[in-house]
């Protein structure tokens, strides 16, 4: 059980590489441990090994030179368990999980920076319209920006297949019973995705208005997508995700004539919890409002 948000981590998350057809487990949650090392010259090496307390590694670099180093791992859960017993609380364990995530997120951020890649984390409740907006955005802007996508869902590769139809690179992460993506999943997803230099990586998070906001992925920006069928009070009912997001995209506005949704009030609520949030009103179906979103995205990404 993930004590941070309460989701279960019983099922091992998987990555499907749509290009190669390969499906693999994200082994960090098991007995193997994955590392990325950034060398002084900026080159990056990845390797994995069985969990153990102390061990040394030898890496052969592309230029033929060999480096050896050693490091240690405490057993995966021991410090946290000790804390939990002493304090009779899960607080320390939660801090450990988020601290580990933050460390990997910082590593991902450096990875993006070294490649001049801009990464956006798209979050919303299930079915708000993330994939529809993403496929339309990629189709409309693919001659101006180079996109690749990490898709996150509990199960299926449905969304990755839709993205693949646009012609851009995509990997699908299936979180099993997990309700959010985390930085370790993104690290593994990026290894498979191998996005080009000077490009844009779009990350579609698992549909959920709560837990994705807790986990830094190393992205540059979080965008929350809210559809007009969900009710205008969502920003004050789920304030954290709106506070953490630089952008809110209010979508499905083509449905406004058919639903009770007060756009002005929704905007006021969003600004109440986050005065700096930038708001776009769009329909991914009719294309209404997309120009403003595209103009902003182009300026942000270039």
Q: Which residues bind ligand GTP (CB under 6 A)?
A: 124, 126-132, 153, 159, 207, 251-252, 254-255, 283-285
State the minimum distance, in angstroms, from the CB of residue 213 to ligand GTP.
15
From the CB of 135, what's the least distance to ligand GTP, in Å? 8
Span near Mg ion by CB under 5 A; candidates 8-16, 93-101, 124-132, 165-173 = 124-132
Question: 31 or 155, CB closer to ligand GTP?
Answer: 155
Residue 248 CB contacts under 8 Å (≥ 6 apart), including other chains? 223, 224, 225, 226, 235, 242, 270, 277, 278, 279, 280
Residue nearest to Mg ion (CB): 131
Q: Which listed residue (18, 130, 150, 157) binds Mg ion by CB under 5 A?
A: 130
Task: Give the closest residue to 37 by CA, choosing from 52, 54, 57.
Answer: 57
As measured in angstroms, the least distance from the Cβ of 49 to ligand GTP is 35
DSSP 175-200: -TT--S--HHHHHHHHHHH-PPSS-E
Angle between helices 183-193 and 91-114 (to 10 degrees): 30
- Chain centroid to Cα 64, Å, comes to 35
- The CA distance from 193 to 293, in Å, is 25
Q: How far is the CB of 227 from Mg ion (least distance, A)?
A: 12
Strand partners, 36: 46
The answer to the question of residue 28 lying near Mg ion (CB under 5 A) is no
Nearer to Mg ion, 130 or 222 (CB): 130
Q: Decide which of ligand GTP, Mg ion, none touches 128; Cβ closer than 5 to 8 Å per partner kind.
A: ligand GTP
Our finding on whether 159 is near Mg ion (CB under 5 A) is yes
Instruction: Provide, rounded to whole angstroms, the least separation between the CB of residue 268 and ligand GTP.
Output: 22
> CB 118 → ligand GTP: shortest distance, Å?
21
- How many Cβ atoms are within 10 Å of 289's Cβ, its own excluded? 18
Q: Rank residues 107 and 252 by Cβ distance to ligand GTP and give the closer one.
A: 252
What residues have CB less than 8 Å from 207, skipping those under 6 apart? Answer: 124, 125, 126, 127, 128, 130, 153
Positions 77 through 116 that interact with Mg ion (CB under 5 A) = none
| Binding span for Mg ion by CB under 5 A among 3-11, 81-89, 156-164, 243-251 | 156-164
Binding-site partner at residue 182 among Mg ion, ligand GTP, none, CB < 5 to 8 Å by type: none
Residue nearer to ligand GTP on the CB measure, 91 or 288: 288
Task: Give how far Cα 213 sits from Cα of 94, 96, 196, Å.
Answer: 15, 17, 27
Residues that bind Mg ion (CB under 5 A): 130-131, 159
């Amino acid at each position: 059980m993930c004590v941070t948000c309460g989701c279960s981590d019983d099922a091992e998350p998987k990555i499907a590489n749509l290009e190669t057809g390969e499906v693999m487990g994200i082994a960090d949650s098991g007995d193997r441990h994955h590392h990325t090392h950034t060398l002084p010259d900026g080159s990056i090496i990845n390797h994995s090994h069985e969990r153990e307390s102390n061990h040394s590694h030898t890496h052969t670099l592309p230029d033929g030179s060999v480096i050896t180093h050693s490091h240690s791992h405490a057993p995966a859960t021991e410090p946290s368990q000790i804390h939990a017993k002493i304090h009779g609380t899960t607080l320390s364990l939660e801090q450990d999980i988020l601290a580990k995530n933050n460390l990997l997120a910082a590593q991902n951020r450096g990875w993006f920076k070294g490649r001049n890649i801009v990464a956006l984390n798209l979050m919303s409740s299930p079915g708000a319209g993330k994939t529809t907006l993403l496929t339309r955005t990629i189709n409309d802007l693919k001659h101006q920006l180079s996109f690749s996508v990490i898709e996150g869902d509990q199960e299926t590769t449905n969304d990755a297949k839709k993205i693949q139809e646009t012609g851009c690179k995509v990997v699908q992460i299936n979180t099993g019973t997990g309700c959010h993506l985390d930085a370790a999943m993104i690290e593994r997803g990026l290894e498979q995705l191998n996005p080009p230099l000077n490009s844009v990586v779009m990350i579609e998070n698992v549909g959920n208005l709560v837990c994705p906001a807790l986990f830094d992925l190393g992205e540059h920006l979080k965008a929350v997508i809210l559809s007009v069928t969900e009710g205008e009070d969502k920003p004050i009912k789920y304030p954290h995700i709106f506070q953490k997001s630089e952008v809110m995209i209010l979508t499905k506005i083509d449905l406004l004539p058919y639903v009770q949704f007060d756009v002005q009030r929704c905007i006021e609520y969003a600004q109440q919890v986050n005065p700096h949030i930038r708001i776009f009103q769009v329909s991914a179906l009719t294309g209404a409002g997309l120009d403003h979103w595209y103009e902003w995205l182009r300026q942000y990404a270039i």
